[in-house]
Amino acid sequence: MKKAVLKFTACCAAAGMAFAGTGSVAFAAGDTVLAGFGYVSVQGSTDAQEQADTEQQADTEQQTVAPVENSVEEDTSAEEAPSEEEIQDGEASAEEVQAETEAPQTEPVVDTSMSGQMAFAQCEEYINVRSDASADSEVVGKVYNNGSVTILSQVGDWYEVQSGNAVGYVKADYFATGEQAEAIAEEVAYNVATVYPEALMIRSQPSEDSESVGMAYNSDELEVVAYEGDWMKVALGGDSYGYVNAYYVDYDTYYATAETLEEEQARLDAEWLEYLAQQEAQRQAEEQAYLEAIAAEQQAAADAAAAQAASDAAAAQAAADAAAAEAAYQAQLAAQAQSQTSSSDAQAVADAAYQEYLNAQAAADAATLQADEQLVYDTAAQAQAEYQEYLNAQAAADAAAAQQASDAAAAQAAADAAAAQAAADAAAAQAAADAAAAQAAADAAAQQAAAEQAAAEQASQEQTSYSSAGQAIVNFATQFVGNPYVWGGTSLTNGADCSGFTQSVFANFGISIPRTAAAQSGSGTPVDLSEIQAGDLLFYYGSSGIGHVTIYMGNGQVVHASSPSTGIVISDYGYRTPCSARRYW
């Protein structure tokens, strides 16, 4: 491991890259590392500084052919950028055809003076990589705008290049070299520091005396944004930055590289599968929403039926109560009327008899005054008879009053009986309404249960499918336990880092996921740590951001590319505290 890191140019020189007098960026072919995810990694140590300077001087002195100027804004005699047909179909552009036609029919001269230099594509979209230095040759790959290539040789106006897994020929006029390439490299480079101690403190300023703002751990990858002496300024997420001591990290620089046609097809296939998966997920969500809407409508109908039944029962009860009250009132009026009539008649008879008695008594009194003895006896007898009739009439009146009371009691009893019958009828109506409401509620509950059963069966089917897919991912990943850890690598056999390992495992199933652990933690479907399943990705903090990723196996274990010293291993998922989980299957 290196113990010091210089600024960008020094790091490039330490990796075997020299800046020639023309400004071109040269790389020793043996020091160029091709990362599987489409970036060129520039690695090295400061111990090679002096040798790199010597090679740079020799390379400059031995160069006999001046590099081709590659500005995308050349005069009208230079070839134009690739045509739309060249970009879309990989066919020969008009410029390529013309150049091929006008080129002298001589054996092309292979010039290796630029071997090892880096060049960058300058186009609207991409440049074709061909199998031969001819516009008629087969297209084997594509280099996108600002993508990097390593020049192997120059044949006429074509460069023989290597970029990623693509090796072939590109038109030299569409690539920037020299000072222009150097400027582009500084603009598009992705610089990464990999922590090699077990733990490394991240500080707020480039000083051992400044406060700590976080911790990084072994194999964590930090994006480098600047150098300040022996310190690297690293991004911590958002607008937060910190500093790590350069003595305790490995430093790598990456550039975008070419994509072979096979890799392009694999990417397109993965994107298509992801699109189909998204469509299926959307379909299932819409189906679930439909089932829930149907269940809600059925529940609403059941609630409305129950409410209507309750309302009908209340109305029936009110009608029954009103009918009973009316019947009782009418019965009471009739009884009172009949009683009053009988009592009045009897009292009238008694009153008339009493009046006759009074009349007779007055006659008797008058006869007495006349001293008519016989008349006195006669009138007295008459008065006595009239008095007896009065007594008889009064007794009849009393009997009529008693009968009236009896009739009123009977009428009240009849009214009470009618009220009792009305109450019984209302109770029966209420019971019928309650039964109807209970039946409506039972029907609604049955419909709800059926909807929930259908949803549960669908969820069970989806869970079974998920579980089998996740287990298949785990079964595939564990085949590579014991293989080496290689920073920036994506090979399951020759070596991969943590995120390269997960990306390559998922690619085997046609699932495309981002390259770095931090990016992987921001895509896919979030999963609660209490609900993780086999095949889910578990993420761990390295500093103030995500620094490591593993594949959960189930039963509390994970498989992952751990570190250069351990390689691909199986560990307990809590060997460090996981912070989040994502599902891509």
What residues are annotated to the active site? 498, 548, 560
Question: Which helix (DSSP H) or strand (DSSP E) does residue 10 occupy?
Answer: helix 8-14
| DSSP code of residue 480 | G
- The Cα 242–Cα 235 span in angstroms is 7
- The Cα 580–Cα 352 span in angstroms is 113
Question: Which helix (DSSP H) or strand (DSSP E) does residue 35 occupy?
Answer: strand 32-35
- Nearest of 410, 550, 418, 545 to residue 477 by alpha carbon: 550
- Nearest of 581, 477, 498 to residue 532 by alpha carbon: 581
E strands present in 311-437: none
Return the amino acid letter for 435: A
E strands present in 177-262: 190-195, 199-203, 212-217, 221-228, 231-237, 240-245, 249-256, 259-260
Contact of 230 with 247, CB cutoff 8 Å = yes
- At residue 257, φ and ψ (nearest 5 deg) are -120, 180
- The Cα 522–Cα 545 span in angstroms is 11
- The Cα 436–Cα 552 span in angstroms is 54
- The Cα 470–Cα 462 span in angstroms is 12
